Every structure is written in structure tokens, then in C-alpha cells.
Structure 1
Amino acid sequence: MKRIVLNLLILVIFCLTFSINYTPASAATVAEIPTFSILSVAVDTSVTVLTYNFPASHGFDVLMGYMGTRGVNGIKVATLNSGAGGSFIATFNIPPELRGQYQIAIRLQSNQGAAYHAYNWFYNQPGGIVTNYPPEYGDGGIPTFSIAGVVRDVSVTIITHKFPANDSFDVLMNYMGTRGINGFKVATVSSGAGGKMTFTFPIPDHLKGEYQIAIRLQSNTGSGFAAYNWFYNNTGGSSGTGGVQGYYGYPTFSIASVIRNQSVTIMIYNLPPGDKFDVFMGPMGSQGQGGYYVSSFDAGAGGSQTLTFNIPNQLYGSYQIALRIQSNTGTGLYAYNWFYN
């Protein structure tokens, strides 16, 4: 079954899209991201979903749209209240405009002005269940890949992790910092049974001689799955997943608590071992880019940490504040979020 967030990341995605670099936007008191999975589908009639980590007593519009839209600006099919929050089952009618579609995107979007939202998609056929997550939501379903080896100016070998089954991906390479977006297409691959696979791709002529190269696997079927990474263009190479050998995925963080105009406490997940991060805060909408430097920290053994940072004087009185953690070692890893001050 498919559960749908930051990128989350990614970096590798960190896209989720599902950024899935994973970068959730959540209220200060919510430590989890609302997601939902598909339980069942009645063709051209209805879809039943199971929610997870939904905020309590919150109103949501239910939107459906064409595959690839993530339900953004979709057809409104219902409004619901999350009640006690957490997990609950709900069934929604498929609108006439989408009947006959092979795949349909569905989105639950806060109608109370908050940033809460979640999206997924389903096959409009009996059962209709999707067994993987969109790239921006949840560590358990983010497709990623690591760098296994490099032959300078000739080829790069990768190992995939948690790839969806029966999907098709274009392989793109581009200059460092582009995440492979709009890159040079070097191959197309099928994910087959999904999960863990090993591929070798040629380095295009345009990028020969480059010190670092970005590489991206992007679904060409409209599923929305994507993953990116980078590597040193040296024989032997090194793991581009943040440059940390054996590390997969992306760092993410949620907001634990806020003291107005004083401090914010965050819970960070999936930190790469041995990396170091700078912490920035900025105006809402900036994603913390070009923000005010407030601190630095060491990821140590990696994994999870809970940290508190002071809110800079320049942002006192701000209603909402963006927060970003950014590797200062050159790994390229980062995560961002925001909170109510």
C-alpha cells in the first residue's frame, strides 16, 4: 500500500517531490507529517483512504485531479473534519470529470489557512492500491540511490534503494548544483521488481572534465517519483549521497516547541554521521536561504537529535519564520521547515 512529504530533501531529495529532499511544512506543535494511503477503489465511483498523523479538529478540502498534478487546483469532491486526528478511514466519490482516467491524483488540503496537506494517487481500477509512496513523504518509501563507483569521464555505477516496481526512469546528468534537473539524458531504465538494483551509465561528453557531476533518475510515466545524487568525477569516486559512505536518504526535521521571539526546538531525523551543519532562519517563504546564521552543530554518530536555537533579533515579531539546516562540509545535504512564532 502506498503512503504519501520536505524534501521531505532531496539530493538525492530530497523530492518529493513527496522535496522527497524531504521538507515538511507543519505547525509548531506537530511533530509528524499528515499522510494517507489508499485502501480500495471502486472504478469511476469512489476511493477509500486511511490517514496517518492528521492534526485534530482541523478542516480539509478533498481535491482530485489528473495524474502528475498532485491534486493541486483539483476538483473539490468533499470537505472533512479530522475530529480526534491521527488515523481514520474516509471514502470519497470520483468526480465525473475524472471517470475513465487510468490514474487519479488525490489531495487533502487544509481549508483553515494552515500549511497542512497530503497527497497520493491511485489506479482507477478494481483494488486500485498503489504500493509505494510519493517521493516527498516518509523515509519508508523514498526512492534513493548511492554511488558505487566511477570511471573518470567514462561511467558511473549506482545502487538504488526502495525504488517503486514497474516504473520507468530517465537518467539525467548535469552540472553540480542543478540536482540533475534539465540535464543531459544518458539512458532510460525500467525498475522491474523495484527495490535494490545496480546500474552503470555513461558520462556524457558535455560533462567530461567536470570535478563533480549531478545525476538524477526521473520517472517518465507521470508517477512523480524522482531521486538525485552527485559524484566526484574521479576513478573510484565516492558516495554522492551527501558524500557519506553507507548513508541513504535525507535529513529531515519537525518543530517540537517555540518560545515566542526567543527560541525554537526541533527534532532532527536521519542525520548523516560525521557531517556538520549551519543553522539559518529567515522570512517565511525563503526556505531559510540567505537567512540569518544562528548556530552550527555536529551530526556526530548521525541519526536523531533534539536541538534548540535562538530566534535572531531581526525576526522578532515575525508571525512565521523559516528554518534551514545546511551542511557546511560540502556534502550538499540540507533540510528546511517553518514555524509559527
Structure 2
Amino acid sequence: MAAMPAAPASDTPASFDPSRAIRLAHETFDIEAAAVLGLKQRTGEAFSRAVQAMLDVRGRVVVMGMGKSGHIGRKIAATLASTGTAAMFVHPAEASHGDLGMIKPVDLVLAISNGGESDELTAILPLLKRLGAPLVAITGRAQSTLARHADIVLDSGVEKEACPLNLAPTASTTAQLALGDALAVALLDARGFRQEDFARSHPGGALGRKLLTLLSDVMRSGDQVPRVGPDAGFSELMREMSKKGLGASAIVDAEGRVLGIFTDGDLRRLIEKGADLRALRAREVMHPNPRTIRMDTLAVEAAELMEQYRITSVLVVDAQDRLCGAVNSNDLMRAKVI
């Protein structure tokens, strides 16, 4: 039986040296940090012109790049889109086969290539120029084909890659990403982009839930809210609390305005005092003028109120201070507000 051919040398793992791995990691951090810091000296008037051009564009920022630059481009497009600048990524190779129709004269193209000579990208540069869309280039070579075609050039050049062979894009892609983030930050600042705007782009995230969820979205309402009149007997008060499971009950007047609140903690304190519970009425045991919150406020504000005053539930009122709901910490946790 013929012997199996030996595996290529490149497939044979070399002996692993932990200390060498750590040293290479430290060197990578140093090289990439130096690459990013080096951008400061070359970021000036061209950068501000690029920001202005993106602010002025009536369409979208179309990000393009091949290979590793394409991966960076996808992230830059996503960051721009989530911070107030309409953006999308178009693959240069697909652009040559029909996707170029996605780009309009009202758009701006942000093309990324370290060497500036990517065949797929340079092949469509004349078409982009003929289209009339402004072209901003992020490239490490100021004399490259991409740079010569661009209206604005952002220099992302690095002295060397972190790769020991100086081949794999490492420091250069870090520099590209940093420039993209810098553009996004400058743009969101110029647009007056706020936390609330960010939340609207991220409704499924923790920040989105905190900044978009209103009390009216999570509070108990209607028959779920425990309430009794001020002359209700203690037994009626206890039945209402037990039935609704809030751990408290509101005491309201005939118009539904909140007069007070009675909680599980109040019950424990009455028992400890040895009070004759059967003879008591709601008005005698309630805390008058309890803290309430408006239904049109954010749910996170109810959480902050509970934390500030060390309470576990809060009554929700409308503009006329009438009881319309209630919420406790468990309700807020289920809504993932806290």
C-alpha cells in the first residue's frame, strides 16, 4: 500500500512559545497605536472638507472597499447609519455587475483601499466620476489611482503592518477604521445627534429600551391597579392588595385622585405594634401624599425614583393627578429597563 504524502510544511504547526506570543501581542498593540496616533499629524483641512461634503450630500454615503478594506468599509457604513448619516456598503466587484445602479449622482462615495490600486475598485472609478457623485478616498498612497480620481483624499498610510511579515493588513486596517470612526463622530456632532436619536436607531438595545420605553408601555392599568376609597375597612384593603399582587394599594378619592398609599412594609410595622387591624380604615393607615409619577415619562425615570427613595413601587398619574396605573421593580425588570 502506497504511503500517504507528507503534509506541506506550512500545515505543520511549529512549537508554541507562550512568551513569544505575549511579546508579539505587545508589539502589535504598539505598532497599531502608533499607526492611529500618526493620523493626527495628517488630519487637517482635507478631513474637514470630507465632513462638510458628507453633511451636504442629499443622498447617501456609499462606502466601497475590497478584501480587508471592504470589511472595514462595512463597519464604517454601519457606524455612519447608526449615528445619523444615511449610509450603505456596495461591493466594488458587484458594482461592475449591476450594483453600480444603486449609486446616484446625489450620493457620495467613500472608497477605501490601502494601496489604492485594487482592480475591482479602480475599474469603476471612471464610471463613478462620470456619474458625478463626489468621491472621498481613504488610502495609504497619495499617488495611487484611487487618490488621483478622488475629490478629497484622507491619508491612512502607516509605516509598517503589525504582521511580522509586513504583509497581512493589520495596522493599515486599524488606521482606516479609526478614520471612519473620526468621520462618524465629527458628523454626529455637527448634526446635533443626541442620545434619543441614537436610541431610535437601536430600539432593541439596552439604551434604546431606556430612552424609548414610556411608563405607559410597561405600567399596570385598569383593574390591575389596586385601589380603595379612604373609608374602606382594613379587610377590604388587604383583599385588594392580595388580589392585585403589587405589594401595595392606592387610596383614592371619588374622582380617582391619589390620597395615599399602603404597602406590605406598612402592614408589617402595624403587626409589630400590635394594632387592632380590624378596627382600622384605609385613611388611618395610609401614607398621605405619596410619590407619584406621570404616565408620559420614561420608564427609566420610575426606576431612578425607586432607587432614590428606596421604594419598590410607584403610582402613576395623569395630567390631572388621577390614578391611571402603577409599576414596581419587577415590572421594570421584565421590560428590561433595569
TM-score, structure 2 normalization:
0.20
Q: Which has the higher helix share?
A: 2
Q: Which has the higher contact order (CA 8 A, sep 6+)?
A: 1
Q: Which has the higher strand share?
A: 1
